[in-house]
């Protein structure tokens, strides 16, 4: 059962000051997540698109980080100035904003690894 056309998760993980990993929350990610929620709501997207806060997305060096599903598009270094464009181009138009795309994952699959085929989504409805 698919509920949302696009489901955006924004990392709001906060680490203690001085942690060498850094964290998204120290780079305004909470304000960015809030602004994205408001912008999506203002565009009438409630019910078709959802913006959520998330715990650590394991992309600390690239923060503020976000991921859009089911497309699986990862964004890095987003700022408050990017909010309206993310809502308009990615959440509404389905476009990828190339300058925000996370190029190298800090862990996990190497860049460019193709996504596996979905697990029979029809079976979930």
Binding site for its own copies (CB under 8 A): 1-5, 7, 9, 46-48, 50, 52-58, 67, 69-74, 94-96, 98, 101-103, 105, 107-109, 111-116, 118-125
d(CA 116, CA 121): 13
Strand pairing category for 49-54 and 6-11 = parallel
Judged by CB, which is closer to its own copies: 18, or 117? 117
Judged by CB, which is closer to its own copies: 81, or 113? 113
Residue 68 Cβ vs its own copies, minimum distance, rounded to whole Å: 8
Comparing C-alpha atoms, which of 71, 59, 69 is closest to residue 11?
59
Residue 38 Cβ vs its own copies, minimum distance, rounded to whole Å: 14
Judged by CB, which is closer to its own copies: 79, or 92? 92
For 18, 48, 62, 73, 81, the CA distances from 103, given in Å and listed in that order, are 26, 28, 10, 11, 20
């Amino acid at each position: 059962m698919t509920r949302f056309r696009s489901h955006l998760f924004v990392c709001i993980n906060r680490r203690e000051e001085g942690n060498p990993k850094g964290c998204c929350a120290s780079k305004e990610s909470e304000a960015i997540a809030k602004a994205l929620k408001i912008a999506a709501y203002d565009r009438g997207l409630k019910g078709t698109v959802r913006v959520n806060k998330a715990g650590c997305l394991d992309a600390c060096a690239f923060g503020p980080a976000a991921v859009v599903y089911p497309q699986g598009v990862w964004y890095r270094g987003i700022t408050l100035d990017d909010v309206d464009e993310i809502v308009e181009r990615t959440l509404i138009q389905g476009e990828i904003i190339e300058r925000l795309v996370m190029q190298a994952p800090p862990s996990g699959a190497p860049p460019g690894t193709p996504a596996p085929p979905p697990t029979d989504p029809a079976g979930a409805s």
